[in-house]
A and B are shown apart, each in its own frame.
Chain A
Amino acid sequence: MGVTVDVAYKSLNKFTEILCGDSVEILKTADSDILILADGMGSGVKANILSTLTSKILGTMFLNGATLDECVATIVETLPVCQVRGVAYSTFSILQVFHSGDAYLVEFDNPGCIFIRDGKLMEIPRSIREIDGKKINEFRFRVKKGDALVLMSDGTIHAGVGQLLNFGWLWEDIADYAVKEYGKTVSAIRLATAICHACDELYMFRPGDDTTVACMRIIDSKPVHLMTGPASNADDDERMVADFVGDPNARTIVCGGTSSTIVSRVLKKPLDVSMDYVDPEIPPIAFMEGIDLVTEGVLTLNRVLQLLRRYVKKESVAEDFFEELDKPNGGSMVAKMIIEDCTEIHMFVGKAINSAYQNPGLPFDLGIRQNLVEQLKNTLEEMGKPVTVTYY
């Protein structure tokens, strides 16, 4: 059935800590997507090491086909023992969703996974099994398009304990909030950020514990095609445009003045260039029938790269990031489509050198398209989006 997922997470560090004691691993195998959340005991460096070890061991072993029992045994033997508490301890949740629609959930001591389907909370039955003296919930089920699954560390249910709320934010109340936000948000990152932000408010912006929310939404595959730069040999223009618009399921973005002029010529569709300078640093966008987004090239792509980098560095992703992403300038619009509405991206890159850009009088080096494309590709891969680049 070809299940695709949109997966993202957001963490808050315990107040005054530089490192987060929760770790998240997002992995892809040939036939599945895996999301792992581990919460190390304590906070700061120690917790960070424990959770990193746990999530990395689980991820690496799972990727190589180890069973859950082997994974747990390895973790128990590997984790360093805490001097204060005399135990080695990190909680974890593992969610694996296969492209076939089968899902596998393992939970050890984390708050339960929130499972939302058709705007309603679904119950995940408990099926406890004991491995090495640890009670582990292991459960297999089916997912379908539109489902959302939320993993979290206990920083969420402890939010506001003893301050704004007597007993913290109860799981049921978080689940209700998640269901409400599920209806309002389109992407995994917005849902994760919304829940995390609510926790932050309950903590009065001084989190008493590391808090992490990781979301997976089951969606249709959403390929995006992005074309930038004219082909180095003008005879290849038509072939390049034909490849670019060749997939009727893919959304299309053209980044580049000359490139969009070429697309307009080849497709015989007029190009309507806006004069609305919504952002003084980035030229306005344009409109063309059949193309989802048309923007200027290098300056816009440079802004896109900055936004994607901010996204990859999770700590700066908060409400103000989404405000930036929702702005109607070319850079934000491209970044938003890539972050929130794209499961894989194919870039069609022309290698022609624009002689006008070889002008030392310009305040910005415009001759950096291929370099930008390389950096974009690396950043997209860090985001976990498969990227293909074709040069012309």
Chain B
Amino acid sequence: MKVTICIGSACHLKGSREIIKEMQDLVSARGLKDKVDLNGAFCSGNCVKEGVCVTVDGTLFSLKPEECTEFFEKEIVGRL
């Protein structure tokens, strides 16, 4: 599964760094390194949304750092 997190200027200010850190921790804690491929990306042109742009297998989400764990369970683990 390919997960892409935007690190463009606007998303960076909304917390890309925290999300990347938390995602990386979650992926290694669950031993999912072989299944979940985390990537960075520059602006996908959707920065108008509230949170950081995250795409999971092509589907776009807008994610705030505090929602990260819940999101990970639902949209990433839930789809595996």
Contact = CB atoms under 8 A, between A and B. Distances in A.
A18 interface: no
A324 B42 CA distance: 25
B40 A258 contact: no
Chain A interface size range: 20 to 34
B7 interface: yes
Nearest to A261: B42
A295 B40 CA distance: 12
B42 A260 contact: yes
A355 B48 contact: yes
Contacts of A127: none
Interface string B24-50: 100000000000001111110101100
A275 B38 contact: yes
Contacts of B10: 354, 356-357, 359, 362, 366
Contact of A296 (B9, B20, B24, B45): B9
A299 B39 contact: no
A317 interface: no
Nearest to B4: A273
A308 B43 CA distance: 27
Interface of A: 257-258, 260-261, 271, 273-275, 277, 280, 283-284, 286, 296-299, 354-357, 359, 362-364, 366
B40 A275 contact: yes
B33 to A, nearest CB: 14
B7 A275 contact: yes
Contacts of B43: 257-258, 261
A361 to B, nearest CB: 8
Given A261-B42, A261-B43, A273-B39, A362 B17 contact: no
B5 interface: yes
Nearest to A301: B9
A280 B39 CA distance: 18
A39 B7 CA distance: 51
Nearest to A300: B9
Nearest to A358: B48
A273 B41 contact: yes
The 7 closest A-B pairs by CB, nearest first: A356-B47, A257-B42, A257-B8, A257-B43, A273-B40, A275-B40, A283-B12
A273 B7 contact: yes
Given A261-B42, A273-B39, A274-B40, A362 B13 contact: yes
Chain B interface size range: 20 to 34
B68 to A, nearest CB: 15
B42 A258 contact: yes
B66 to A, nearest CB: 15
Given A274-B40, A296-B42, A355-B48, A257 B13 contact: no
30 contacts: A257-B8, A257-B9, A258-B42, A258-B43, A258-B45, A260-B42, A271-B42, A273-B39, A273-B40, A273-B41, A275-B20, A275-B38, A275-B39, A277-B17, A277-B21, A280-B17, A283-B7, A283-B9, A284-B7, A286-B42, A298-B9, A299-B9, A299-B12, A299-B13, A357-B9, A357-B10, A357-B47, A359-B48, A362-B13, A363-B13
Nearest to A362: B13
A366 B43 CA distance: 14
A297 B14 CA distance: 16
Interface centre among B13, B24, B42 (most CB of A within 10 A): B42
Contacts of B9: 257, 283, 296-299, 357, 366
A289 B40 CA distance: 17
Nearest to B6: A257
A167 to B, nearest CB: 56
A87 B14 CA distance: 65
Given A257-B43, A261-B43, A275-B20, 15 more contacts: A257-B6, A257-B42, A260-B42, A261-B42, A273-B7, A273-B42, A275-B24, A275-B40, A277-B21, A283-B7, A284-B7, A296-B9, A354-B47, A355-B48, A359-B48
A296 B48 contact: no
Contacts of A363: 13
Interface string B46-58: 0110000000000
B62 to A, nearest CB: 12
Given A258-B42, A275-B38, A296-B7, A364 B13 contact: yes
